[in-house]
């Protein structure tokens, strides 16, 4: 099955072409430099940039894949959650392509797509679901922090999520507070490498509670109070690095501890993780050490696929179509606040198009 996939939910314009689990192309145009001077994503600018980028990015994807549009079997696009107008650009583009080609159209849940990105890997890139097993998955990005239990392919249950800021947002806000540029996460990560994670102690929010929710807004506030009491602390580069390492250690400890606890509670043998924050070297290392210690397997998204991309959208769409998921109406709308909990399995459709790539 050949699928055209589109992702425009935030600040990455991405187009992928998928064939039977293989990723023939996954082009991503990032808008980071555009939003940098504003210190965050400006929705109106993101929307216009998607409009400008979608056709050239699609052309690049088709060129790389050597596919022609009339060879496609279906078109898939992120339907939500995300920035409303940014979503609309990609969604309409996908609907128009499906309409013109007379092919099924699939509106995909962005977080459900993230759940499958740790299964994509190797060179050439392809997804490997022969090895699929029940797992607990951590999604950590600038907009979301979620723990999800996957009992089987397309079967998931949300265990917990953030009650306020996402982990990436916490990285970005702390980075801004200490004068780093946008997005702050990667810069904080680099500075943390030369610092002592035990130099300063910051709270580990909700670490002790037995539920699987997170809260990160208090951590940013405690860093602000901490700095107000110590004017001049950041004047030496070692203290700056120590502060970054200590804040990062607090975020990582909460993420890792809750993920491992959830995996044990759900009695799974595998932990997976994806989303922009999984690029963080400390988190990758923390996850590796913690899973090894308790005998769990770990599968994190490849660094190039942690952040938003259309490959994960296409891979999920392909599994969905093969397993009989309904196509989405061409006159459907985006769902900017779509919660993963509200995604109901739409399997009323006739028969699967084809078995998942044998």
Residues that bind ligand KG4 (CB under 6 A): 10, 141-143, 168, 171-172, 183-186, 189, 275-277, 279-280, 307-308
Q: Which partner from the list ligand KG4, Zn ion, none does 286 bind, CB cut-off 5 to 8 Å by kind?
A: none
> Is 313:115 a contact under the CB 8 Å cutoff?
no
The verdict on 19 binding Zn ion (CB under 5 A) reads no
User: What is the smallest separation between the CB atom of 183 and ligand KG4, expressed in angstroms?
Assistant: 4
Segment contacting Zn ion by CB under 5 A, of 172-180, 186-194, 209-217, 308-316 = 308-316
In this complex, which beta carbon is closest to ligand KG4, that of residue 24 or of residue 252? 252
Q: Work out what residue 314 binds among Zn ion, ligand KG4, none; the CB cut-off runs from 5 to 8 Å by kind.
A: none
Q: Which of the choices ligand KG4, Zn ion, none does residue 171 contact, using the CB cut-off of 5 to 8 A by kind?
A: ligand KG4
CB of 166 to Zn ion, least distance (A): 10
| Nearest CB to ligand KG4, comparing residues 118 and 183 | 183
Residue 190 CB, nearest approach to ligand KG4 (Å): 8
Distance CA(16)–CA(77), nearest Å, equals 10
Stretch that binds Zn ion, among 84-92, 120-128, 136-144, 194-202 (CB under 5 A): 136-144
| Residue among 29 and 296 whose Cβ is closer to Zn ion | 29
Shortest Å distance, C-beta 110 to ligand KG4: 8
* Cβ-contact 130, 99 below 8 angstroms: no
Q: Which is nearer to Zn ion, 243 or 277 (CB)?
A: 277
32-65 burial: b if 16+ Cβ within 10 Å, else e:
eeebeeeeebbbeebbbbbbebbeebbeebbeeb
- Count of beta carbons in the 10 Å neighbourhood of residue 328: 21
The Cβ-side half-sphere exposure at 219, using a 13 Å CA radius, reads: 35
Distance between CA atoms of 340 and 80, rounded to whole angstroms? 10
Residue 2 vs 50, nearer CB to Zn ion? 50
Residue least distant from ligand KG4 (Cβ): 276
Residues in the chain: 358
User: Strand, coil or helix: what is 38?
Assistant: coil
Q: Does 112 bind Zn ion (CB under 5 A)?
A: no
Query: Closer to ligand KG4 at the Cβ: 168 or 320?
Result: 168
> Is residue 13 within the footprint of Zn ion (CB under 5 A)?
no
Closest to Zn ion by CB, 141 or 145: 141
Residues 6+ apart with CB under 8 A from 269: 133, 134, 135, 296, 297
What residues have CB less than 8 Å from 45, skipping those under 6 apart?
A: 31, 34, 35, 38
Q: Which does 118 bind (CB under 5 to 8 A by kind): Zn ion, ligand KG4, none?
A: none
Q: Are 105 and 93 in contact (CB under 8 A)?
A: no
The entry of ligand KG4, Zn ion, none near residue 107 (CB within 5 to 8 angstroms by kind) is: none
DSSP secondary structure letter of residue 81: S
Closer CB to ligand KG4, 107 or 183, in the complex:
183
- The one of ligand KG4, Zn ion, none whose footprint includes residue 205, by CB under 5 to 8 A per kind, is none
- Which two three-digit tokens encode residue 146? 């979620």
Please count the other Cβ atoms lying within 10 Å of the Cβ belonging to residue 22: 15
Rounded CA-CA distance 283/286 in Å is 5
Q: Residue 49, interface with Zn ion (CB under 5 A)? A: no
**Token pair listed for 11:** 């600040």
Q: Which is nearer to ligand KG4, 200 or 216 (CB)?
A: 216
As to burial, measured by CB atoms within 10 angstroms (0-12 exposed, 13-18 middle, 19+ buried), residue 105 is: buried
Q: Is 141 in the site for Zn ion (CB under 5 A)?
A: yes
Q: Does 308 bind Zn ion (CB under 5 A)?
A: yes
CA distances from 322 to 1, 45, 77, 287 (A): 9, 37, 17, 33
How many Å apart are CA 209 and CA 17, to the nearest integer? 43
Binding-site ranges for Zn ion (CB under 5 A): 141, 308
């Amino acid at each position: 099955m050949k699928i055209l996939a589109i992702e425009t939910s935030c600040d990455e314009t991405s187009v992928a072409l998928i064939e039977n689990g293989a990723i023939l192309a996954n082009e991503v145009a990032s808008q980071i430099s555009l939003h940098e001077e504003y210190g965050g994503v400006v929705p109106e600018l993101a929307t216009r940039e998607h409009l400008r980028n979608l056709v050239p990015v699609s052309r690049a994807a088709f060129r790389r894949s050597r596919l022609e549009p009339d060879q496609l079997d279906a078109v898939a696009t992120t339907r939500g959650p995300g920035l409303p107008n940014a979503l609309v650009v990609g969604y309409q583009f996908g609907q128009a392509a499906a309409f013109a080609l007379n092919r099924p159209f699939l509106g995909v849940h962005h977080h459900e797509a993230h759940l499958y990105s740790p299964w994509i890997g190797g060179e050439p890139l392809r997804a490997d679901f022969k090895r699929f097993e029940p797992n607990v998955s951590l999604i950590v990005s600038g907009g979301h922090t979620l723990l999800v239990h996957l009992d089987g392919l397309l079967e998931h249950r949300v265990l917990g999520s953030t009650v306020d800021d996402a982990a990436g947002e916490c990285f970005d806000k702390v980075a801004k507070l200490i004068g780093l540029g946008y997005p702050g996460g990667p810069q904080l990560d680099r500075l943390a490498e030369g610092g002592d994670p035990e130099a300063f102690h910051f709270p580990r929010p909700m670490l002790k509670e037995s539920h699987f929710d997170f809260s990160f807004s208090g951590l940013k506030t405690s860093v602000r109070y901490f700095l107000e009491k110590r004017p001049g602390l950041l004047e030496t580069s070692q203290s700056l690095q120590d502060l970054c390492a200590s804040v990062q250690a607090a975020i990582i400890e909460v993420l890792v501890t809750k993920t491992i606890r959830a995996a044990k509670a759900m009695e799974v043998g595998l932990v997976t993780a994806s989303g922009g924050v999984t690029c963080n070297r400390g988190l990758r290392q923390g996850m590796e050490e913690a899973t090894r210690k308790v005998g769990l397997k770990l599968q994190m998204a490849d660094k190039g696929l942690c952040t938003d991309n259309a490959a994960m959208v296409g891979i999920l769409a392909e599994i969905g179509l093969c397993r009989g998921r309904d196509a989405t109406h061409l006159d459907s709308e985006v769902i900017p606040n779509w919660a993963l909990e509200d995604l109901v399995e739409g399997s009323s459709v006739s028969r699967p198009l084809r078995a998942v790539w044998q």
